[in-house]
Structure formats: structure tokens, C-alpha cells
Amino acid sequence: MSNIFGSLNLSAARRVAAFAPPKPKIVVPEPPTQIYRCALTVADFDAYMDSVFEQGLDCGFDIETAPTDAFRDTPRAALDPHKSNIVGISFSHTPGTGIYVPLRHRVGRNFELPVSEFMAALHRVFFHSQKIQKIAHNIAFESMFMYKDGIVIQEPAYDTIAASRLSLKNSKEYRELKDSGLKKLSSEILRKPRPSFEDTTQGKHFDELDAEDPATIEYACMDSDDALRLRMYFGEWFKQNIPRHDWYCQNVDTPACIYSGIMKYNGITIDKELMLNKREVAVTEQARLREKLLEIIGPGVDIGKSASTKAFERWLFDTKGYPVLKNTETGGRSLDDETFQLLMAWCEDNDRTDEIPLFELLQQYRKWGKLLSTYIDGYLQHVNDVTGRIHADLNPIITDTSRFASSKPNLQNICRKDNDPVGIRKFFVAPPGYTFVDFDFSQIELRVGAVYCRDEKLLEVYRTGGDIHAMTTAVIYAIPYDQAKDKSAPHFKERRTIAKNFNFGRQKS
């Protein structure tokens, strides 16, 4: 069985929902007309938003951004709050309606108040309100830019992209992130066409559009309007199908997305000088290993950066005649690390131990290549040239188990200390005046599992302060419990790793 204890909040409901009978189709009424307008004065803004502030209505919102002067020609700079600013904000509290408040347009008029004054007021009356539900699609993005202006979006809030991930796209499958884009949901659920960003901007930045142009206003307001209408749809969908998921979306996933945006904005400080120094070490070591390999293989075989080329495959299996001990999923001849380990064992069993160094060199060569490409060059390319930090994408809603995912780069899978001759973890440093705090829940999945499954043996272990991994080690290796938990005992680490894999392991069904 798979390890589900880390995600009981969602996975159990998802399994039940996947086999539930389909419910009646939900239709969000299409307003007869769309009334979008530009708000340029406090009176314009108040005229539309008074009912929100007074009655605490649900209100969709969305921001438009554009690069600052220094980054006008930098690709995707508008998505980086360290290289761009909020150009305008749209709001929608009633389907088919909305206002757009232009703040930094270079063409046309902007709102009558200075940006800082308007944002401060918005902070007080909207984003900090405990009675207004703030609705956005991909609220982590809005959260980054709001945080730049000193605003932390407070609950209640609702992220419709998170709601999409908690809903079914058919009777058996949940919507994936690729099924949850605003354009796709608007087309499939709201049944309405949307102007694309490219068609609206025609190659310009958003702040180069006339703020009062109907096309500018429509594009901006439609985002907040659609977010509001999707909130209505998913609220009804959850009510009919999985009521608990509406609560999860508002109270678990949306706050997680808000703070993920803040975490991305802050990023993590790195020691770039150390990274560059270690890069030289890695390049030198990989070159040395390459030369030693070519002494064995011969200079006419291209082994590439990871010894996985077709030329090397043919040399290994066709020229040298090594047996094929593992295949790829598509039936090809595997060249992964496990293959090299199997071939080392084969050499041992067939009295060819003098050939084992070849496979040891291959593993070392590949290891240094991985360190260089993934953990050094891979990190360096994501260092922000404004902040000097890495601002990875942190996503709490992309995985089916509700675990966080990190990308661009992946900061969650860093080399273990015992398998890292470079010292990758030392690349990350706390800013001056701060320190890193490292903490971990002790065996949290097993503790939750013990409670939910009412496993008396597990419960007794935790009640008495025992060590479940030591108990498992003792059972597997038939050794006394005291020896299994003794860190100074021979093979302690290797045996404990096996026990952990057994306790937390996954098995394909």
C-alpha cells in the first residue's frame, strides 16, 4: 500500500469521490451583459466597492504587472516582483461587473491618489478585512506583489486554482494543475471566450496600454470576474460532491498558497562566491575522471556528460559483450546507476574483478556530473540578479498528496551530507542578523497512522517514548532492541535506513 499518512486530509476523500456517482451538472448563470469600467477617482472606487465594505461580500480581485525601466527587455520580468510593479488592480463583487483601478500606466490617466496612499487604504479596508472573502485565481502570485507593498492577504480568502485541484474533471479523475488555468476553466466551466494576453497587449507591456481603453478594462476586469464566478461554481460543486473540500480550500490550501507567495518573494540567500569556487572543483574532478575512463574505454567513444550516450551503450554491450541485466521501461538497455552496480556484482561472480574499477569510475563520473549540472549550474542559473537570492517556485497544490513541491530550482531534494563531497548545503546562508532553524516532526506519518488505524503496538511505542525505527530494525535483523537503537553499534546507519524504508516505503500495486 502507498504511504498515505502524510496526506490523510485529502487522499481519503479523493478515493471516495473518485467512485461516487455523478451529481447534477452545475451551471453558473451568464449575466446578460458585462459591465466593466475604469475607476479613476475615490468616488468611482467607493461607488462600486461600498457594498463590499459594508456587507462583507465575496469579491474577486486580480493584478496586472509590468517591468520597471531597468528590465523592460528582460524575458518574463513582469512575473518577478523584484523586477516589476503592480500596474493596476481589478475587482468584481457581482458576476458580469467589475472595475479596474489603473495605478502605473504610462498611457492614459491613473487613479487620482498616489499609489502608496491607495495601497495603504486598500490594505486597511480590503486585504485585512475579516468579513470580506478575497478571491483570486493563483493567489500566490498576487500575494508576492502585495507583500512587496507591505500587505499580507488575510483570511478569509479563496484561491480558485486550489479549488480546481480539489475537484473532479470527470467521474474518476481530479483536475491537475494543467487543467486548472483560468483560460481553460473559463472555457470549460463558464462557457465564455476570453481575450488572450497576447491579443490584448500586441507585444507591449501592460503599462503601455491606455488604461481607459475598453479592451484594457475588459481584459483586467474579466480576470477578477471569472475568479468570482469560479468561486460560485466550485462552492456549489463541493456542496453537491465533496463538501469538506470547500473548507480545505479556504482554510488550508489558500492560506498555504498565500504564504508560498511570500516565501518565494523572500527567497533564500546563497553564497555565490562559494558556489563558483566549488564549480571549479567539480569541473576539474569530472575532467580527471573522464580522462581515466577514456584510458579504459578509448578516445573514440563519446561518453557525454553522464555516460549515457548511444555510443557508450554500444561499446559496453556490443563491443565489450557485457550482459544486459536491466532494461528501461521502453525495453531498451538501461545505463542507470543500478545497472552499473549489477554489472559490478556480475564481475565479482564471474572472476572479472579487475573490471570493477570501470563501473566505480562511471558512478563517480556521473555523480560529479550531477553535482555540477543540478546543484551548482542548476542553482546558479536561478540566482536573481537583483536580490542575489534564489526565489524558487513553492507550490502546495501541485501534488496529489498535498505535499509541497519546489521547482526552478528544486530545493527540496538536496544531496545527503554523506553523499556530497562538494558541500551543497553550505551554499545556503542566513542573511546577516538571522539564523537557520532546522526542525522536523518525529515520525509524524507513523504517529498519525497509529492514531487513525488504532494500532495498539504503534500506540504503545509512542506512549512509552519508544523508537519505532529501532523496533523495526530489531525485527528485521533479529537483534536486541537496545542494540538496534545504539548509534555506536556496527551497521547502525545502514540497518536503520533499511528499517525506515520499510516503515515509509511505497509498493506499486
Does the pLDDT at position 18 exceed 60?
no
Q: Is residue 390 part of a domain?
A: no
Assess whether 227 and 323 both reside in one domain: no
**Confidence tier at 15 by pLDDT (50, 70, 90):** very low
SS3 505: coil
Does the pLDDT at position 505 exceed 80?
no
Q: Is residue 133 part of a domain?
A: yes
- Distance between CA atoms of residues 81 and 147, nearest Å: 9
Q: Which H or E element spans position 6?
A: none
- CATH of residue 287's domain is 1.20.1060.10
pLDDT in tens, 83-123: 999 999 999 999 999 999 999 999 999 999 999 999 999 99
Q: Is residue 418 part of a domain?
A: no
Distances, alpha carbon 96 to alpha carbons 28, 48, 58, 125, 351, in Å: 11, 13, 14, 23, 78
Residue carrying C-alpha cell 468616488: 43
**How crowded is residue 43: how many other Cβ atoms within 10 Å of its Cβ?**
9
**Confidence tier at 12 by pLDDT (50, 70, 90):** very low
Mean predicted confidence (pLDDT) in 51-64: 94
pLDDT in tens, 215-235: 999 999 999 999 999 999 999
Mean predicted confidence (pLDDT) in 343-368: 93
- Kindly compute the dihedral angle of the four CA atoms of residues 353, 354, 360, 361, in this order, to the nearest 10 degrees: -170
Does the pLDDT at position 5 exceed 50?
no
Assess whether 246 and 300 both reside in one domain: no
**Confidence tier at 507 by pLDDT (50, 70, 90):** very low
Assess whether 303 and 173 both reside in one domain: no
pLDDT in tens, 238-278: 999 999 999 999 999 999 999 999 999 999 999 999 999 99
Per-residue buried b or exposed e for 272-290, using 16+ beta carbons within 10 Å of the residue's own CB: eeebeebbebbeebbeebb
- Write down the pLDDT at residue 399: 82
Percent of the chain exceeding pLDDT 90 equals: 71
- Write down the pLDDT at residue 244: 93
Assess whether 237 and 282 both reside in one domain: no
Q: Is residue 424 part of a domain?
A: no
Does the pLDDT at position 4 exceed 50?
no
- Kindly compute the dihedral angle of the four CA atoms of residues 123, 124, 129, 132, in this order, to the nearest 10 degrees: -70
Q: Domain ends where: 225, 244, 265?
A: 265
- Write down the pLDDT at residue 271: 95
Assess whether 135 and 234 both reside in one domain: yes
Mean predicted confidence (pLDDT) in 382-400: 92
- Distance between CA atoms of residues 227 and 59, nearest Å: 9
Domain residues for 71? 5-265
Does the pLDDT at position 17 exceed 70?
no
- Distance between CA atoms of residues 353 and 346, nearest Å: 9
Assess whether 341 and 483 both reside in one domain: no
Which residue type occupies 145?
A: F
- CATH of residue 173's domain is 3.30.420.10
Assess whether 321 and 225 both reside in one domain: no
Mean predicted confidence (pLDDT) in 429-447: 87
Does the pLDDT at position 413 exceed 90?
no
pLDDT in tens, 58-81: 999 999 999 999 999 999 999 999
**Confidence tier at 420 by pLDDT (50, 70, 90):** confident
pLDDT in tens, 125-140: 999 999 999 999 999 9
**Confidence tier at 392 by pLDDT (50, 70, 90):** very high
- Write down the pLDDT at residue 450: 86
Percent of the chain exceeding pLDDT 70 equals: 93
**Confidence tier at 193 by pLDDT (50, 70, 90):** confident
**How crowded is residue 325: how many other Cβ atoms within 10 Å of its Cβ?**
15
Write out the DSSP string of 390-423. Answer: E--EEESSSSTT---EEESS--S-PPPGGG-SS-
**Closest of 308, 58, 89, 272 to residue 163, by C-alpha:** 58
Q: What is the pLDDT of the chain when averaged over all its residues?
A: 89
- Write down the pLDDT at residue 299: 85
This prediction has a pTM of 0.83
Assess whether 56 and 191 both reside in one domain: yes
Q: Is residue 392 part of a domain?
A: no
Assess whether 227 and 284 both reside in one domain: no
Does the pLDDT at position 400 exceed 80?
no
Q: Domain ends where: 380, 409, 432?
A: 380
Q: Please say whether the beta carbons of 260 and 394 come within 8 A.
A: yes
Does the pLDDT at position 492 exceed 50?
yes
Number of domains in the chain: 3
**How crowded is residue 82: how many other Cβ atoms within 10 Å of its Cβ?**
17
Q: Is residue 313 part of a domain?
A: yes
What are the CB-based long-range contacts (under 8 Å, 24+) for 447-455? 448/5, 448/6, 448/8, 449/5, 452/5, 452/8
Radius of gyration of the chain, Cα coordinates, nearest whole angstrom: 28
Assess whether 136 and 199 both reside in one domain: yes
- Kindly compute the dihedral angle of the four CA atoms of residues 285, 287, 293, 294, in this order, to the nearest 10 degrees: -160
**Confidence tier at 342 by pLDDT (50, 70, 90):** very high
Does the pLDDT at position 29 exceed 80?
no
Q: Is residue 432 part of a domain?
A: no
Does the pLDDT at position 444 exceed 90?
no
Assess whether 107 and 143 both reside in one domain: yes
Does the pLDDT at position 303 exceed 70?
yes
- Distance between CA atoms of residues 256 and 457, nearest Å: 34
- Write down the pLDDT at residue 24: 54
Q: Is residue 386 part of a domain?
A: no
Q: Domain ends where: 380, 395, 427?
A: 380
Assess whether 101 and 230 both reside in one domain: yes
- Write down the pLDDT at residue 170: 84
